[in-house]
Amino acid sequence: MGEPFYITTAISYPNGRPHIGHAYEAIAADAIARFQRQAGRDVRFQTGTDEHGLKMVQTARDKGMDVRALADEMSSYFKAMCDDLRISYDRFIRTTDADHHRASQAIWQAMADAGDLYLDRYEGWYSVRDEAFYDEKELVDGEGGVKLSPQGTPVTWTAEETWFFRLSRYQQPLLDLYAANPDFIRPESRRNEVMRFVEGGLSDLSVSRTSFDWGVPVPSSAGHVMYVWVDALTNYLTGAGYPDGDMPYWPADLHLIGKDIVRFHAVYWPAFLMSAKIALPKTVFGHGFLLHRGEKMSKSLGNVVDPGDLARAFGVDGLRYFLLREVSFGQDGSYSAEAIVTRVNAELANAFGNLAQRTLSFIAKNLGGALPEAGRSEDADGQLIEEVVVACAGLKTAFDDLMLSQGIESWLRGVYACNQYIDAQAPWSLRKTDPERMHAVLRTLVRAIRMLAIVVLPVVPEGAGRILDLLGVEDRDHDAIDDDGWYQRHVDAGFVLAAPTAAFPRLEMPAAEPEP
């Protein structure tokens, strides 16, 4: 096993059903996890649901449901979404899990032992939607003079006795951390935002609540439950085995989250960990938001679509490919049915799917499925392989640096090079005139398709997996890409190709866009 690589998504609030933003984050994390597994890392991938807090209590009350029943039901939809989208998580954590309560109480105790917790009275603004406290100076005026959080959500005045965490103590240690580790917060724009915020000064943070009891009980403090973000952030440690054992996957390599919750992950979380004397995660990456036709998704606009419906309409691979290819990772992106259909048909179905389909069915039909022997090679063959090697290396370098769309662009350059090659070499016309040359061309194409299918597996695991299954390719790690001997060994082993079915079917424009 290689070096550990621990990657997490945010854990979602199960106060409603999952939406495309949740699907996007899970898909991006999954592509990175699959990529790192191929690179030989010992990957641990965690996702899940964040089930405590006032938002859950209020939603359950509005629905006339028991809060635990609401959490159970909605959490199951998030898990089903992950399974539908082929998210290869190792653990789907629920913050109501017993080991998570233990971990949360252990980190609380460690912060208390460090002298960082004290009891006082909290008076200030709270947004239930964001589950966040805000300073008066951060608020903005909404319609009719109502006060709104900087995220545009309603705030209410709260006053209660709570435990406080001495966040103010960590201003300088946090600034030192950002300065010493430029990759701690990515991308750069988010890093700058966080640095400005911390430079502005940090107030101590209220970290317990007494007005409701749906949370992790504070150790030795009857009537207090932890502020939901304290327990939510601790999920990453729970999944790593805290507080028992040697925690081989900690510190986390990557917390992948949306831009709206960077402050919690890049300010509060490292401060809690420093206080508890636990190693800090290496990178917090705040991805952008997904918009529908350029507009924010919201229940009131009626444009919140179930990701399961999108996957049924466009295929799991189609949806995954579109999201990772279209959105420059870290920035906001927009989707629509036309954009998905256009992109998937042009790049996945035509450029790559059709290349594989034409090549493999030609071999199945005309050579009885036997992979051609060497034939008579020409310079163009070596050139194509070289271009494909460069394209695959480009994807690897980009994915390693979380530049997902750029990685796919590099892969596409390899795919387009194959298309130009097949058009220029026209193996179909060589069949009668020059079979020796045709053999060399087909052989080159099979080698190129194998490499391109392996490297794109993290993005489109089903279709690329189907092509590799057809070709009888078992070894799918990065090492296999550069295995020049594969083809000949495979031929020598007498492999016979079956007639292929399309790995990436063309999409039809749906008569109506999947409805909310």
380 by Cβ neighbours in 10 Å (0-12 / 13-18 / 19+) ranks as middle
Q: Are 415 and 352 in contact (CB under 8 A)?
A: yes
- Is 50 a residue that touches ligand ME8 (CB under 6 A)? yes
Contact pattern for ligand ME8 over residues 20 through 39, marking x by CB under 6 A:
-xx-xx--------------
- Is 260 a residue that touches ligand ME8 (CB under 6 A)? yes
4, 239, 258, 407: which one contacts ligand ME8 (CB under 6 A)? 258
Q: In 389-418, which positions are buried (b, 16+ CB within 10 angstroms) versus exposed (e)?
A: bebbbbbbebbeebbbbbbbbbbbebbbbb
Which sign does the torsion angle of CA 305, 311, 315, 319 carry? positive
- Is 444 a residue that touches ligand ME8 (CB under 6 A)? no
Candidate ranges 257-265, 373-381, 387-395, 434-442; the one touching ligand ME8 (CB under 6 A): 257-265
- Is 272 a residue that touches ligand ME8 (CB under 6 A)? no
426 contacts: CB under 8 Å, gap ≥ 6: none
Q: Could you tell me the smallest distance in angstroms from the CB atom of residue 261 to ligand ME8?
A: 5
- Is 362 a residue that touches ligand ME8 (CB under 6 A)? no
- Is 74 a residue that touches ligand ME8 (CB under 6 A)? no
Candidate ranges 116-124, 227-235, 345-353, 438-446; the one touching ligand ME8 (CB under 6 A): 227-235
Write the DSSP string, 164-232: EE-GGGGHHHHHHHHHH-TTSEESHHHHHHHHHHHHT----EE-EE-S---SPBPTT-TT-EE-HHHHH
The DSSP 8-state label assigned to residue 24 in this structure reads H
- Is 12 a residue that touches ligand ME8 (CB under 6 A)? yes
- Is 261 a residue that touches ligand ME8 (CB under 6 A)? yes
How many chain residues interact with ligand ME8 (CB under 6 A)?
19
Strand partners, 11: 48
Q: Are 292 and 338 in contact (CB under 8 A)?
A: no
Q: HSE (CB half, 13 Å, CA atoms) of 496? A: 6
Candidate ranges 10-18, 370-378, 380-388, 391-399; the one touching ligand ME8 (CB under 6 A): 10-18
Q: Could you tell me the smallest distance in angstroms from the CB atom of residue 236 to ligand ME8?
A: 7
State the distance between the two ends of the chain, measured CA to CA, in whole angstroms: 44
Q: Which residue is nearest to ligand ME8 (CB)?
A: 258
Candidate ranges 148-156, 228-236, 320-328, 433-441; the one touching ligand ME8 (CB under 6 A): 228-236
- Closer residue to ligand ME8, CB minimum distance, 13 or 272: 13
411-430 residues in contact with ligand ME8 (CB under 6 A) are: none
- Closer residue to ligand ME8, CB minimum distance, 10 or 240: 10
112, 232, 388, 430: which one contacts ligand ME8 (CB under 6 A)? 232
Q: Are 337 and 313 in contact (CB under 8 A)?
A: yes
Cis peptide leading into residue 243 (ω within 30°):
yes
Q: Could you tell me the smallest distance in angstroms from the CB atom of residue 85 to ligand ME8?
A: 14
112, 132, 233, 395: which one contacts ligand ME8 (CB under 6 A)? 233
Candidate ranges 9-17, 168-176, 212-220, 487-495; the one touching ligand ME8 (CB under 6 A): 9-17
Q: Are 316 and 508 in contact (CB under 8 A)?
A: no
From the list 214, 140, 201, the residue with the least C-alpha distance to 168 is 201
274-303 residues in contact with ligand ME8 (CB under 6 A) are: 289-290, 297
Candidate ranges 7-15, 80-88, 143-151, 429-437; the one touching ligand ME8 (CB under 6 A): 7-15
Strand partners, 42: 4
> Which pair of structure tokens corresponds to residue 383?
């050139």
| Segment holding 69, helix H or strand E | helix 67-84
Q: Could you tell me the smallest distance in angstroms from the CB atom of residue 258 to ligand ME8?
A: 2
| Segment holding 371, helix H or strand E | none
126-185 residues in contact with ligand ME8 (CB under 6 A) are: none
- Closer residue to ligand ME8, CB minimum distance, 167 or 297: 297
Cis peptide leading into residue 251 (ω within 30°):
yes
Q: Could you tell me the smallest distance in angstroms from the CB atom of residue 74 to ligand ME8?
A: 10
The residue length of the chain stands at 516
From the list 8, 4, 83, the residue with the least C-alpha distance to 36 is 4
- Is 231 a residue that touches ligand ME8 (CB under 6 A)? no
Q: Could you tell me the smallest distance in angstroms from the CB atom of residue 235 to ligand ME8?
A: 6
- Is 407 a residue that touches ligand ME8 (CB under 6 A)? no
- Closer residue to ligand ME8, CB minimum distance, 221 or 334: 334
- The phi, psi pair for 107, rounded to 5°, reads -70, -35
Q: Are 28 and 452 in contact (CB under 8 A)?
A: no
Q: Could you tell me the smallest distance in angstroms from the CB atom of residue 64 to ligand ME8?
A: 22
- Is 106 a residue that touches ligand ME8 (CB under 6 A)? no
Q: Are 306 and 17 in contact (CB under 8 A)?
A: yes
CA dihedral 154, 156, 162, 165 (to 10 degrees): 40
Q: Are 76 and 102 in contact (CB under 8 A)?
A: no
Residues forming the site for ligand ME8 (CB under 6 A): 10-13, 21-22, 24-25, 50, 232-233, 235, 257-258, 260-261, 289-290, 297
